[in-house]
Amino acid sequence: MKQEDIKNLSADDLQENLAEQSANLERLRMNHSVSPLENPKQLKEVRRTVARLKTEIKKRELSAQEK
């Protein structure tokens, strides 16, 4: 998910996507520890998506506090 797409999401959608991507990351890590993934770059992509979502949530919280 790209940053442009994340900026257009509502707060509820951000939380929902964060929970979904976090679960996906955990599942990928477990699968990778048992047997190597066909595409290990998936871990990197999902981890970065989680970070982008968390960053946008935090940015919105901070901007709400300033107002």
**Three-state SS letters, the chain:** CCHHHHHCCCHHHHHHHHHHHHHHHHHHHHHHHHCCCCCCHHHHHHHHHHHHHHHHHHHHHHHHHHC
Q: Look up residue 2 and give its two tokens.
A: 């790209």
Q: Domain range holding 18?
A: 3-66
**Span 18-44, pLDDT tens digits:** 999 999 999 999 999 999 999 999 999
pLDDT score, position 66: 87
Residue 18: CATH number of its domain: 1.10.287
Burial code of 12-33, b = ≥16 C-beta within 10 A, e = fewer?
eebeebbeebbeebeebeeeee
At residue 12, does pLDDT exceed 90? yes
At residue 64, does pLDDT exceed 90? yes
Q: How many domains does the chain have?
A: 1
